[in-house]
Amino acid sequence: MTIYLDHGATSWPKPERVIAEMSRFLKEDAANPGRSGHDMARRASQAVWDARLALARFLGGVPVERVIFCSGATDALNTAIHGFLDKGDHVLITPMEHNSVLRPLALEAETRGVTFEEMKADEFGLIDLAALRKCLEDQNPRLICVNHASNVNGILQPLDEICEIAKAQGAKVLVDAAQTLGSLKIDARKVDFLALPAHKGVLGPTGVGALYVAPDIKLRGPRQGGTGAFSEQESMPEIWPEAMEAGTLNAVGIVGLHEGLKHLIEIDFEQAHREKMIVLKELLDRLQGLPKLTLYAPQLHDKPSVGVFSMNVEAYESAELANILDGSFDIATRAGLHCAPRAHKHLRTGPYGALRVSLGLKTTKEELREFEAAIRVIHG
């Protein structure tokens, strides 16, 4: 049986209830939501609205119409960045940003003269709040992009404090919650944008996600097309969420997202996360004494973090180490740069990145013991 330690890429296995409800929906209700008046289409539309409402509540009670469905967190981040920024805007980022933020910003820099720079941070990537406050006073950036928790080493940024500082200076905050939603409770009312996927901590399927946009934000829509209603207009309607959701939604994926949210609430995901962090710290305490092994793990230094860390073993490239774990021990991890090259540069992992280990809510002590034993065998 595979020991799956790649939850930072996608969660597995999915809860049976998610699989069952998606299957039921495909068999019974999978008409095109918002496109027809027959009973099946109405049921599909209701399922999408119910999921939107549940997600709005899960995010702290944000306005439901400001939750828009996307194809994932990358699509959500692109929608926010390209839809909000204007010519010459300045943006601050953490050194731990994912390419789903870096590449849209690079395009904005090339096409509209947007500038962006990293905020000052400690060796783990944790933002220096005093430096951020001074930077905001001196530079007047329009947007701050915050990778809530790094997908490389798990460092957790102080989101409440960042939002408070940004608000005082009139800057907006875009949050990438790919590694935190489903482990931590997030009150999206404090931020301006929040992007999320369904397939990671929410335990849903790939190919669907969402973007929350605060009510005072004006955003250019990412695409134009059919919305089911307002068909007489040649331009997109102004009413949300229709203004941002041209085309047929991934209704079956949205149903899976909704069922994942229900599952998280029932299992008390916050307590499960606390338990996960305890077993992770125990593993790291045992590993840190091994010679020729480097851990990129803020958890060892009492830094705020989630269930993700990276490591390297001397004499092995990270990809080679991952292949041995997979082929010889049936342990799934991820090697390389993890679509976050600036994070690896900040952590000084070297040209080949690192081996990433990312835990799920149900990762067990026994599984981590087997991972440790495998590392000890490889380590020699």
Looking at the fold, whether 328 and 371 belong to one and the same domain comes out as yes
Determine contact, residues 236/218, Cβ cutoff 8 Å: no
> Domain boundary at 266, 294, 325, which?
266
What residue numbers bound the domain in which 51 lies? 16-266
> Domain boundary at 232, 266, 300, which?
266
**CATH number of the structural domain spanning residue 259:** 3.40.640.10
Sheet with 143-147, edge to edge strand ranges:
67-70, 209-213, 193-197, 172-176, 143-147, 90-93, 115-118
Residue-wise pLDDT for 165-217, tens only, equals 999 999 999 999 999 999 999 999 999 999 999 999 999 999 999 999 999 99
- β-pairing, 193-197 with 209-213? antiparallel
Closest-CA residue to 199 (of 210, 215, 189, 190): 210
pLDDT for 36 equals 84
Q: Residues near 178 by Cβ (< 8 Å), separated by ≥ 6?
A: 73, 98, 148, 151, 195, 196, 197, 200
Beta bridge partners of 117: 92
Looking at the fold, whether 97 and 173 belong to one and the same domain comes out as yes
Q: Torsion over CA of 81, 83, 86 and 90, rounded to 10 degrees?
A: -20
pLDDT for 222 equals 87
Closest-CA residue to 364 (of 272, 287, 298): 272
Is omega for the bond preceding 13 within 30 degrees of 0, making it cis?
Answer: yes
Distance CA 177, CA 162 (A): 15
**CATH number of the structural domain spanning residue 292:** 3.90.1150.10
Q: Torsion over CA of 327, 332, 335 and 337, rounded to 10 degrees?
A: 150
Q: What is the DSSP string of 164-189?
A: HHHHHHT-EEEEE-TTTBTTB---GG
Helix axes 99-112, 73-84, angle to 10 degrees: 30
pLDDT for 350 equals 85
Looking at the fold, whether 232 and 140 belong to one and the same domain comes out as yes
129: tokens are 């709040």
Looking at the fold, whether 168 and 277 belong to one and the same domain comes out as no
Looking at the fold, whether 281 and 133 belong to one and the same domain comes out as no
Number of domains in the chain: 2
pLDDT for 289 equals 86
Q: What is the DSSP string of 246-263?
A: -S---HHHHHHHHHHHHH
Distance CA 378, CA 356 (A): 16
Looking at the fold, whether 90 and 200 belong to one and the same domain comes out as yes
Q: Residues near 283 by Cβ (< 8 Å), separated by ≥ 6?
A: 368, 371, 372
Residue 61 DSSP code: S
Looking at the fold, whether 254 and 276 belong to one and the same domain comes out as no
Looking at the fold, whether 100 and 180 belong to one and the same domain comes out as yes
Looking at the fold, whether 260 and 115 belong to one and the same domain comes out as yes
Looking at the fold, whether 352 and 290 belong to one and the same domain comes out as yes
Looking at the fold, whether 148 and 67 belong to one and the same domain comes out as yes
pLDDT for 236 equals 77
> Domain boundary at 266, 291, 322, which?
266
Looking at the fold, whether 236 and 321 belong to one and the same domain comes out as no
Residues of the chain with pLDDT under 70: none
